[in-house]
Chain A
Amino acid sequence: MAIWIDQDSKVLVQGLTGKEGSFHAGQCREYGTQIVAGVTPGKGGASQDGVPVFNTVKEAVEETGADCSMILVPPPFAADAIMEAVDGGVPLVVCITEGIPVLDMLRVTEFMKGTKSRLIGPNCPGIISPGKSKIGIMPGPIHKEGPVGCISRSGTLTYEAVGQLSSRDIGQSTCIGIGGDPIIGTGFIDALTAFNEDPETEAVVMIGEIGGSAEEEAADYIKAHFDKPVLGFIAGQTAPPGRRMGHAGAIISQGKGTAREKIEKMREGGVQVVDSPADIGSGMEMILQERV
């Protein structure tokens, strides 16, 4: 088992005919993901590397039965693309695009209320259930099938964590990059809730960073409801306040959202937080050994 995606997931790609879209769709397919359709308005009827292209998401879903969408369109069009996927009834929408205006995302989250769709991202590497399916831009080969769930606001830092796990022969059930923006679809708590119910997931790595209060809220949730061990790391312990550290959401504003606050709160919630990003793999190894 894994959460949200597996070998049966059928993926349509919004922006398939673009440079990014065609490259990453190819990489996903190479990993074993079923890429069933592409959507590029105005290019309906064409095909890209053997994948049929449609004008609208609705059409693509009707024709192919796609149940996931991967969005790789430029930022000015991304909010619209997400809403089109939701309107088309796609249950899982993964938006990779970085740089979507915040007000656009506020409207998107409002639009999604009451619908059955889940959004992962934006500004994220996507989601992978190793050995089954990959919907995103992460390097597939560093992953290994196994018992550890990963949730992270970062891209390459997640690869770092996964690399440390895999090199110790610790595999992953599902890895989710929830995204570095201030307004995102799926949060830590959503992913933790799913991991709690997934019998294959035995422990979770949770990687946060400065800015906002998502880690603090997740810590409260873990304390009250989460039954499995969690290893945590917070990036940005040395970040100066008031500066955006690359990610739009990684900013300590008005004294809030510091790494120290988050680490304290997570430790109170029972998360084993490591100070060094080099200790994620070894920390998880110890957790799993204790459980045996």
Chain B
Amino acid sequence: MKIHEYQAKQILIKHGVKVPQGQVATTAAEAGEIARDLGGKIIAVKAQIHAGGRGKGGGIKLAKSPEEAEEWAGQLLGSKLVTPQTGPEGRVVNRVLIEKGVDIDKEFYLGIVIDRSQQRPVLMASREGGVEIEEVAQRSPELILKEPVHPGVGLQAFQTRKIAFGLGLEGKAVANATRFMSALYQAFESSDASLAEINPLVLTAEGELCALDAKMTFDDSALYRHAEIMEMRDLDEEEPLEIEASHHQLNYIKLDGQVGCMVNGAGLAMATMDIIKLGGASPANFLDVGGGANVEQVKNAFRILLSDENVKAVLINIFGGIMRCDVVAEGVVQAAQDIGVDVPVVVRLAGTNVEQGREILKNSGLDFAVATDMADAARKVSDLTNTEE
């Protein structure tokens, strides 16, 4: 799960990570008031959307007075921000973070991720602050300092010192940095984060370290034990169909093709998307109905994928194991009768109770194209979408 920068900073503050003074605003007037309270020569006005690249997209403004901050906030709020990561449609800005400017001496990168091959969290740092870490990793990987963290004992002080000295810090900045890193790791671990990224981490003229920006994402599987983080979910940042699907325990991701697909199992669902593409069409979504779906869930799944206007054909690919083909067939038939289907539907069933499933489809009086295997299914879908256009 993703959260906003201002929310990440709220979590960080709780663990003793230093962040600039500031507050979130939803109106220009509120922004102006916060700016006046903060004082200082420079005020940052930062659009709060989940996508990155906000600076490049014009979502971060520096104001020299509270009035100017209010003006920028007015312009950003309600506007659509397009960044390199939002896609051309952009995202509507509903909140701005108003922060007191920080006197920057140096900028660094600091992040914690889970390293899958090492099976450990890894603390990463680089002297190139403000630059995306993937870029540094590609250009000059030797500039990235890494400290794997033992999951039992946690991040040790010597590791934070190695990084602090490695970044070229001196004097009291070293101690400040080690404290900062320990606090960041604590925030990461205690919230079951999958990523905590401070970019840039800045060294102020006073030798303090401060998180100028902050990004955190969380392990969805661990949210059950973090009600306070779950509350930070911003549904405005999510695709409405995906939200609806999640209410029915369906795993749905909207894509931009024309073939809607319904599959059981994530791997088979991805493979089905791939075979649609190989056949010359393109998938409109990823949809995994899961291992033990019932008739109701199949109906919901069918309804959700049909509510995507781009869908010109539907491919249902089920390899029955625990999930029985007759249940799927029943759900599809009921859904088709209830909702009415005006696009061609190709159904491929295999595995448990396949004969009963096919029988149900055949006797439904509805016009399904029944495919014998995956290759046949892809061929049928591709024929259908080509003649449609």
Residues of A within 8 A of B (CB): 75-76, 99-104, 106-107, 109-111, 125, 137-139, 142, 152-160, 163-164, 180, 182-183, 207, 209-210, 212-214, 217, 233, 235-240, 243-250, 254-255, 259, 275-279
Could you list some 15 contacts between A and B, CB below 8 A? Answer: A75-B221, A103-B219, A106-B121, A106-B151, A107-B152, A110-B152, A111-B152, A139-B322, A156-B265, A238-B276, A239-B286, A245-B266, A249-B116, A275-B278, A277-B272
Q: When chains A and B are docked, how far (Å) is the Cα of A152 from the Cα of B265?
A: 13
With contacts A102-B194, A137-B322, A139-B352 taken as known, whether A238 is within 8 angstroms of B266 at the C-beta atoms is no
Contact B286 A154 (CB under 8 A): no
Measured between beta carbons, the chain B residues less than 8 angstroms from A163 are: 319, 350-351
Q: Collect the chain B residues with CB atoms within 8 Å of residue A125's CB.
A: 321
The answer to whether B365 has its CB under 8 Å from any CB of chain A is no
Q: Which residues of A contact B150 (CB under 8 A)?
A: 110
Cβ-defined contact, A154 with B267, below 8 A: yes
Contact residue among B134, B221, B264, B286 (Cβ-Cβ distance under 8 Å from A245):
B286
Tell me, in angstroms, the Cα distance from A238 to B279 when the chains sit together.
Answer: 12
- Docked-complex contact A246 and B117, CB < 8 angstroms: no
A153 to B123, CA, bound (A): 27
Question: Is there an interface contact between B221 and A158, defined as CB atoms closer than 8 Å?
Answer: no
Chain B 31-72 interface residues, beta-carbon cutoff 8 Å to A: none
Contacts of A275 in B (CB 8 A): 274, 278
Residue among A76, A138, A214, A254 facing the most chain B CB atoms (10 A cut-off) = A254
Instruction: Specify which chain B residues have a CB less than 8 angstroms from the CB of A142 in the assembled complex.
Output: 351
Distance A125 CA – B255 CA, assembled complex (angstroms): 28
CA distance A233 to B224 in the complex (A): 34
B223, closest chain A residue (CB): A101
By a CB distance below 8 angstroms, the chain B residues around A278 are 275, 373-375, 378
List the A side residues contacting B30 at CB < 8 Å.
Answer: none
Q: Give chain B interface residues in 247-303, CB to chain A under 8 Å.
A: 251, 253, 255, 263-278, 282-283, 286, 288, 291
Tell me whether B266 and A217 are in contact (CB under 8 A).
no
Contacting pair B271 A277 (CB below 8 A): yes
Q: Knowing that A209-B270, A254-B137 are A-B contacts, what are 15 other residue pairs whose CB atoms are under 8 Å apart, sorted by A's residue number? A: A107-B151, A109-B151, A110-B151, A156-B267, A157-B265, A163-B319, A163-B351, A207-B267, A213-B116, A239-B286, A246-B288, A247-B267, A276-B278, A278-B378, A279-B375
CA distance A240 to B273 in the complex (A): 11
Give the shortest distance, in Å, between B134 (CB) and chain A (any CB).
Answer: 5
Chain B window 82-111, contacts with chain A (Cβ cutoff 8 Å), 1 for yes, 0 for no: 000000000000000000000000000000
Cβ of B270 and Cβ of A102 under 8 Å apart? no
C-alpha spacing A281/B117, complex, angstroms: 30
**CB-CB < 8 A to B336: which residues of A?**
none
Best-buried of B116, B278, B375, B378 by chain A (most CB within 10 Å): B116
Of A164, A239, A278, which is in contact with the most chain B CB atoms at under 10 Å from its CB?
Answer: A278
- The minimal Cβ–Cβ distance linking B310 to chain A, given in whole angstroms, is 15
Complex Cα spacing A235 to B288, Å: 14
**Given A137-B322, A180-B267, A237-B277 contact (CB < 8 Å):** yes
Q: Chain A residues near B320 (CB, 8 Å)? A: 139
B267 touches A106 (CB 8 A): no
Complex Cα distance, B267 from A238, in Å, reads 12
Which one of A159, A213, A233, A237 contacts B319 once the chains associate, using CB atoms below 8 Å? A159
- B304 on the interface (CB 8 Å rule)? no
Determine if B75 is an interface residue (Cβ-Cβ < 8 Å): no
* Chain B nearest CB, measured from A276 CB (Å): 5
* Shortest Cβ gap from B197 to chain A (Å): 10
User: Measured between C-beta atoms, what is the minimum distance from A252 to chain B in Å?
Assistant: 11
Task: Indicate if the CB atoms of A240 and B152 lie closer than 8 Å.
Answer: no
CB-defined contacts of A245 to chain B, threshold 8 Å: 253, 266, 269-270, 286
B266 engages A160 (CB within 8 Å)? no
* Nearest CB of chain B from residue A57's CB, rounded to whole Å: 21
